[in-house]
A and B are shown apart, each in its own frame.
Chain A
Amino acid sequence: QLQLQESGPGLVKPSETLSLTCSVSGGSVSSGSYYWDWIRQTPGKGLEWIGSYCYCGTTYYNPSLKSRVNISLDTSKNQFSLELTSVTAADTAVYYCARESAYGLGGGRIDYWGQGTRVKVSS
């Protein structure tokens, strides 16, 4: 059974960089046709896609966050990471990592999620 687990600081200061890691067990990040996603939920709002690392080696980012986001894959550690720069209070959220199955040219079902990690941006 695949398991994903987010880790990282729960408090980040404004203007600094938020860094989170998703550790994957029960499967390999380098096998299969999957997108490795970061998704967040800000307080009182819905789910927001941040970005994805494609099994094909390409990264995709939400246009509204693109200038501040970097997602990378570390196959040696079987994990993938999120960096979000220049954070503000608006980036306070629960951050989820997830695995999305590729389907044809596009994506599809997200059937494995981490439990989520709460990050607060505050001085």
Chain B
Amino acid sequence: SNELTQPPSVSVSPGQTARITCSGDTLPKEYTYWYQHKPGQAPVLVIYKDSGRPSGIPERFSGSASGTTVTLTISGVQAEDEADYYCQSAGSSTPYAGVVFGGGTKLTVL
């Protein structure tokens, strides 16, 4: 099944590195996208196609993929990075069947 699993929460101190994982059986065949969602705001795409970074997204945001797990890494976390983060998977060779999101991870900056 096309389910994506994320840890409910991750906590780090400012300046540390935060790693948020997303696991799913279909991930080896698909690309993963990451969104940052702050309260009262629209979600923002921070990583596309596993490791691409859209223009305007700080370099401290990076993504990687290995097997059935993808990871969003935020290096040198800042207070403004506190938000919910969602992964999404999609494949070019898989007929469209809608948008699949992970359950979301709340990043707390201590």
Residues on A lying within 8 angstroms of B by beta carbon are: 35, 37, 39, 41, 46-49, 51-52, 54, 60-62, 96, 100, 102-111, 113-116
Question: Could you write out 22 A-B pairs with CB less than 8 Å apart?
Answer: A46-B101, A46-B102, A46-B104, A48-B101, A49-B98, A49-B101, A51-B98, A52-B99, A54-B96, A60-B98, A62-B98, A96-B42, A105-B95, A106-B93, A106-B95, A107-B96, A109-B48, A110-B88, A111-B48, A111-B54, A113-B42, A116-B42
Whole-angstrom CA separation of A37 from B103 in the bound complex? 18
Q: Is the CB of A115 within 8 A of B41?
A: yes
Q: Is the CB of A96 within 8 A of B93?
A: no
Q: Is the CB of B37 within 8 A of A35?
A: no
How many B residues are at the interface, by size bracket?
20 to 34
Q: A47-B86, A49-B101 are in contact. Are A35 and B45 (CB under 8 A)?
A: no
Q: Is the CB of B42 within 8 A of A35?
A: no
Whole-angstrom CA separation of A60 from B98 in the bound complex? 6
Chain A min CB distance to B14 (Å): 26
Chain B interface SS verdict (over half): loop
Q: Is the CB of B43 within 8 A of A46?
A: no
Complex contacts, B84 vs chain A, CB 8 Å: 46
Q: A49-B98, A105-B94, A105-B96 are in contact. Are A110 and B41 (CB under 8 A)?
A: no
Asked if B66 is an interface residue, CB under 8 A from chain A, the answer is no
Q: A54-B96, A60-B96 are in contact. Are A106 and B101 (CB under 8 A)?
A: no
